[in-house]
Amino acid sequence: MEMQEIRKRARELTKGSCRVCSVCDGRVCAGEVPGMGGAGTGAAFMNNVKALAAVRFNTRLIHNVRHPRMETEILGLKLALPLLIGPIGGISFNLGQAMGEADYQREIMAGAAAGSIVAGLPDSAPPEVLETSLACAREHNGLGIPFIKPWGFEELEQKIEMCAQAGCRVIGSDFDSIGLITLRKMNRPAYAKDSEELRRIVEASHRRDMRFIVKGVMGLEDALACLEAGVDGIVVSNHGGRVLDFTPGAAEVLPRIAESVKGRMAIIADGGVRTGVDILKLLALGADCAMIGRPFAIAAIGGGREGVALHIQTYKDQLEQAMIMTGCQDVNQAGKHLLFQ
């Protein structure tokens, strides 16, 4: 199985809801929400890709780096490379019935396990979405990160308990989903949380021995509020450009956030990551780990768990090459010194 074959099959199965473009940059699918596009003009989606494309490396060749160390640990999770699979729900809703929700989550989880990384698991308005996610987590000894929507606290605490019962070690909430059109269409909007509400959510997770992360942080003010509330990690993300038009790319805001909170909480970054080279860029900008969404959806639809595992290996090979070419011995030592300023 090769990626070209996987992409061709995915293109056929998604029936035009995703064109499986040679470069997934949001241009063709702008405004297609539901679908896989960015909100409005698609500028936020495109800005993610543009921001990473603007980051350039210093080549360094006089060194003894031959087999760079790509393994890392984040939030107590051991990873073969600094990569998590982003949580994507509503696959049948957004991708033309190309794959059922349960089948998709099973293939993503199995592929992640084969590649020795961890997948994010979705939550949504239909209860079966989280139920399916947690069933997959149980099959893999809790090695998945459920991202619960910021519902009311009573529902949130109930779902936090469900995640604990499934054996999950890390739980998150995608705070940026308060802007999702799809939730409003289902008459189940999510709501913003203030600092006190956030602290209660963190405490509810910690009481159940789970670490808690907030997804959707795009500014220093929110990052510091998360730190003060005891959050264990953040995902610097604009939700793939699907919740607010004209936001900057994640790579543009990441350095300022990292300067203030790196080392005090885990920093994950997503948005426009398309290669292992992009992963190293995010690490150099201050992230501890990258998260990738849409490309893994294509890999799973076109190739199932084998496609997911192959995609992980592709990123790993590309990351290794980039580390050798920049003289980076260990992913945990990546920093701004790798970049051309």
Q: How far apart are CA 200 and CA 205, in angstroms?
A: 9
Looking from the CA of 103 toward its CB, the CA atoms found within 13 Å total: 11
CA distance 277 to 14: 28
How many Å apart are CA 310 and CA 300, to the nearest integer?
10
Distances (CA, A) of 269 to 137, 250, 253, 288, 295: 23, 7, 10, 8, 15
- The mean pLDDT of the chain is 95
> 138-163 burial, b for 16+ CB within 10 Å, e for fewer?
eebebbbbbbbbbbeeeebbebbebb
Confidence of residue 173 (pLDDT cuts 50, 70, 90): very high
Looking up tokens 């293939």 gives: 107
pLDDT higher than threshold 80 for residue 93: no
- Look up the pTM and report it: 0.97
pLDDT exceeds 90 at position 168: yes
Beta-bridge partners for 74? 77
Band (pLDDT 50/70/90 cuts) for residue 157 is very high
CA distance 257 to 221: 9
Pairwise CA distance, residues 316 & 322, whole Å: 10
The two three-digit tokens of residue 336, written as one number: 């701004």
State yes or no: pLDDT of 162 exceeds 90: yes
Whether the predicted pLDDT of 33 surpasses 90: no
Burial of 22 (0-12, 13-18, 19+ CB in 10 A): exposed
Confidence of residue 192 (pLDDT cuts 50, 70, 90): very high
**C-alpha to C-alpha distance for 236 and 243, rounded to whole angstroms:** 14
Under DSSP, the state recorded for 27 is: S
Tell me whether residue 227 is exposed, middle or buried, using C-beta atoms within 10 angstroms of its C-beta: 0 to 12, 13 to 18, 19 or more: middle
Tell me which of 262 and 188 has the higher pLDDT: 262
CA distance 55 to 163: 38
Interaxial angle between packed helices 294-326 and 101-114, expressed in degrees from 0 to 180 and rounded to the nearest 10: 20
